[in-house]
């Protein structure tokens, strides 16, 4: 437990720096005469889930992502029992003024698909974007939901969600981790 405290402090520190940097960049940005059609991207995440329906969550929804390569901790050599997981958390945005609702409801529906149906496995692509670069692109072609949680309160204004997914273990070799290329908002 004590080992997690420095890690959490480190993460909180860099989240504050990133938040302050975003505010400073926006408030000190020069006035422009010509608008750029490409929206300026500072840091964020884009999730795309392909299956029976398309699920897309963007930079407004996703707040934190944790990628993990999971192997047994009691192994004395490199194990063949390797798994890949993603933990994604963020906020549920309420549709107002005729806006399209976010796709968190579709995530909740996906979490309820039983194992007997082939649609419980879907292709998931997550992009981590910073300074117009794709820092990481994690792709699971056969992902399934392990846990999905939503929480709401009467004072927050919006709800929050947490999604825990895994790549199907016998298809782990098909999971990919890429990065280091320019971001294109297509």
CA nearest neighbour of 149 among 99, 104, 94: 104
Percentages of the chain per state (helix, strand, coil), in multiples of 5? 20, 40, 40
pLDDT digits (tens, 9 = 90+) for 97-141: 777 878 999 999 999 999 999 999 999 999 999 888 899 999 999
Largest Cα–Cα separation, the chain: 62
In this structure, are residues 46 and 55 in contact, taking their beta carbons and an 8 Å threshold?
Answer: no
pLDDT digits (tens, 9 = 90+) for 46-105: 999 999 899 999 888 999 999 998 888 887 878 788 889 999 999 998 877 777 878 999
Q: Taking the C-alpha atoms of 136, 129, 151 and 100 in order, what is their torsion angle to the nearest 10 degrees?
A: -120
92 or 158, which is more confident: 92
Residues 167-174, mean pLDDT to the nearest whole number: 90
Model pLDDT, residue 142: 95
DSSP 100-116: PPPTHHHHHHHHT--TT
Model pLDDT, residue 179: 86
CATH of 41-72+83-182, one of 2.30.30, 2.30.110, 3.30.300, 1.10.3470: 2.30.110
Token digits of residue 62? 């996703």
Output Rg (C-alpha) for the chain, integer angstroms.
Answer: 18
184 or 142, which is more confident: 142
Confidence of residue 5 (pLDDT cuts 50, 70, 90): low
Residues near 6 by beta carbon (within 8 Å), at least 6 away in sequence: none
Model pLDDT, residue 102: 87
Model pLDDT, residue 32: 32
Is the whole model's pTM more than 0.75, yes or no?
no
Token digits of residue 2? 């004590």
């Amino acid at each position: 437990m004590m080992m997690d405290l420095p890690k959490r402090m480190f993460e909180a520190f860099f989240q504050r720096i990133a938040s302050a940097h975003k505010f400073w960049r926006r408030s000190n940005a020069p006035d422009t005469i010509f608008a750029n059609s490409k929206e300026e991207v500072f840091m964020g995440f884009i999730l795309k889930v392909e299956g029976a329906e398309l699920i897309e969550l963007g930079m407004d929804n996703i707040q934190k992502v944790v990628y993990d390569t999971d192997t047994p901790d009691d192994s004395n050599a490199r194990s063949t029992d390797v798994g890949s997981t993603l933990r994604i958390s963020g906020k549920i945005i309420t549709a107002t003024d005729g806006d399209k609702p976010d796709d968190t409801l579709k995530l909740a529906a996906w979490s309820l698909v039983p194992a007997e149906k082939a649609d419980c496995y879907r292709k998931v692509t997550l992009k981590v974007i910073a300074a117009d670069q794709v820092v990481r692109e994690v792709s699971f072609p056969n992902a399934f939901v392990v846990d999905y949680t939503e929480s709401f309160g009467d004072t927050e204004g919006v709800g929050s969600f947490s999604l825990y997914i895994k790549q199907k273990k016998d298809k782990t070799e098909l999971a990919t981790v890429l990065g280091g290329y320019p971001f294109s908002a297509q």
